[in-house]
Amino acid sequence: MAGTVLYEREGHIATITYNRPEALNAINQELREDLNAAWVRFRDDDEAWVAIVTGTGRAFSAGADLRDNARPQGATHWETPSMTSLESGLEVWKPTIAAVNGYCLGFALTLVAACDFAVASERAQFGFPEVRLGVPTIQGAVRMPKMVGWQNAMELLLIGERVDAQRAKEMGLVREVVAHDELMPTARQLAERLCLSAPLAVRATKEVAARGQELPFVDAIRFGETMRRVAGATEDAREGMAAAREKREPEWKGR
């Protein structure tokens, strides 16, 4: 995949890259469509087990391109929320890592909130500038309180100022802050650690964790036990048990 978003896969690790560096990777209609296509490609690729998302140049992404009149995705949000993007609810149960290399603003910060892990360069800056432009933040407002707590969420959403990488770590927005040159190696190392786990078991566990937040406790446990049976019937589950008995490293197939 070329153009405004790059998609590359090395082994079981896919890298999705915002690629409009001349515009600080601002999200126009073309980039939005390319980014959505990249996430679907990752979701549907059986050999892609973990994704890293990052940006080229000085920015992860400066958020929406205010010069671009992007048309709505699918049905109108007033009638039916769009589920075409990871930010707006596209279900991707494989692990995702945001490697934030610079400015991460607006809808790009919502993407970080949708990822399972975030690693930040010491140069990264985060913010929701929407209220300073006279418009509300919607998907960020839905995600942030659960992610970073009420007061930290309100700091980001209502004040509209940027916070640096260390403040983002204090909030719980990012997992760790690293030297800029160490960002991608650190994200890659985390992805490789994730690949040591059985990919289908990982996806089942992530789905239970996500859906379990919204279900009554007993319903969540019943759903989880169903997922345990489904995952337990896979070839990888048999391989994991055999490897444990034989005291060797398992060879996961994703089947």
- The amino acid present at 222, given as its one-letter code, is R
Contact 100, 60 (CB under 8 A): yes
Q: Is the pLDDT of residue 160 over 60?
A: yes
Average pLDDT over residues 138-165: 95
231: its two tokens? 């995952």
Q: Give the separation between CA 64 and CA 212, rounded to whole angstroms.
A: 32
Q: pLDDT digits over 181-229, tens only?
A: 999 999 999 999 999 999 999 999 999 999 999 999 999 999 999 999 9
Stated pTM of the model: 0.92
CA–CA separation, 211 and 231 (whole Å): 16
pLDDT at 87: 84
Question: To 10 degrees, the CA torsion angle through 206, 75, 127, 181?
Answer: 60
Is residue 214 within a helix (H) or strand (E), and if so which, with residue range? none
142: helix, strand or coil: helix
Q: What is the pLDDT of residues 25-43, one digit of tens each?
A: 999 999 999 999 999 999 9
The residue written with tokens 């990982």 in the block is 202
Return d(Cα 148, Cα 174) in angstroms, integer.
10
Asked if pLDDT for residue 58 goes beyond 90, the answer is yes
For residue 86, name the pLDDT band (cuts at 50, 70, 90).
confident
Using 50, 70 and 90 to split pLDDT, how confident is the model at 65? confident
Could you read off the pLDDT of 108-124 as tens digits, one per residue? 999 999 999 999 999 99
Task: Give pLDDT, residue 74.
Answer: 52
Mean pLDDT of 149-158: 97
Instruction: Provide the token pair at 247.
Output: 């005291």
User: How high is the pLDDT of residue 2?
Assistant: 59
The pLDDT score that the predictor gives to residue 79 is 54
The structure tokens 């490697």 sit at: 99
| 1-20 confidence digits (pLDDT tens) | 459 999 999 999 999 999 99
Tokens of 51: 């994704």
Helix (H) or strand (E) holding 93: none
Q: How many residues does the chain have?
A: 255
Rounded Cα distance, 18 and 35, in Å: 8
For residue 158, give both structure tokens: 């209502």
Tell me 9's DSSP state. E
Q: Which domains, from first to last, does the chain contain?
A: 5-194 (3.90.226.10), 199-246 (1.10.12)
The residue assigned the tokens 């500038």 is: 129
